[in-house]
Amino acid sequence: MKRNSTKNGGIFPLLIALCFALLTDLISKKWLFGREQTVIPGVLALTPVQNTGVSFGFLQGSIWAIGLSLFMLLCVMIFCIKTKPGGAFAAFIGLMLGGALGNLADRLLYGYVRDMLEILFIDFPVFNLGDVFVCLGAFLMAIYILFFDKGGQKNA
């Protein structure tokens, strides 16, 4: 059975997840970026960082960061167009696209990505909700493929 079955919602779950992730990311950056405060002592702080690298601050200052971001986004879009996934799989792609588009919007508007979430109890780069949505979508997609896809025979 193909993933583009209209029974499982077609492209609609992708669009809903994409809009949710993109709007949540952009609104959180608007409201939280620039504030510096501890949210949960010893756990979470708001620490504004201008990230000129890619996700989680990797490749800082790299001129290839925009190219890499655009290439990854283009690959996901081509995949979506070719497979027209529906159901949960489409929603996972939507989460990844929404997070990536939020960070891409920052990069195009400001020349850097606005990161502000800092985990205090481990040494981890400052990040934003766009990064969270990209990772969450990829993680859920991997779980789906490993445990529920059954070689493409079953839809979510």
pLDDT at 63 over 50: yes
Q: Which of 119, 73, 126, 96 minimizes the C-alpha distance to 22?
A: 96
Residue 6 lies in a domain: no
Question: What pLDDT score was predicted for residue 152?
Answer: 53
Cα 9 to the chain's mean position, in Å?
A: 21
pLDDT at 5 over 80: no
CB atoms within 10 A of CB 11: 18
25 noted as active-site residue: no
State the average pLDDT over residues 76-104: 83
Residue 1 lies in a domain: no
Question: What pLDDT score was predicted for residue 6?
Answer: 41
Q: How far apart, in whole angstroms, are the C-alpha atoms of residue 118 and residue 49? A: 10
Tokens matching residue 136:
């969450």
CB 49 within 8 A of CB 117: no
Residue 4 lies in a domain: no
Residue 77 lies in a domain: yes
Q: Which domain holds residue 112?
A: 11-141
Q: Give the pTM.
A: 0.81
123 noted as active-site residue: no
Is 131 or 65 the better-scoring residue by pLDDT?
131
Q: How far apart, in whole angstroms, are the C-alpha atoms of residue 143 and residue 77? A: 21
Catalytic site residue from 25, 106, 115, 123? 115
Q: How many domains does the chain have?
A: 1
CB 131 within 8 A of CB 24: no
Tokens matching residue 8:
């499982």
**pLDDT-based confidence at residue 154 (cuts at 50, 70, 90):** very low
Pick the range with the lowest mean pLDDT from 3-12, 108-117, 128-137. Answer: 3-12
Q: How far apart, in whole angstroms, are the C-alpha atoms of residue 72 and residue 77? A: 9
pLDDT at 107 over 60: yes
State the average pLDDT over residues 92-105: 91
pLDDT at 74 over 90: no
Question: Which distant-in-sequence residues (6+ apart) come within 8 Å of 104 by Cβ?
Answer: 69, 70, 73
Is 81 or 5 the better-scoring residue by pLDDT?
81
Residue 110 lies in a domain: yes
Residue 154 lies in a domain: no
Residue 119 lies in a domain: yes
Question: What pLDDT score was predicted for residue 145?
Answer: 85
Residue 135 lies in a domain: yes
Catalytic site residue from 25, 123, 131, 149? 131
**pLDDT-based confidence at residue 1 (cuts at 50, 70, 90):** very low
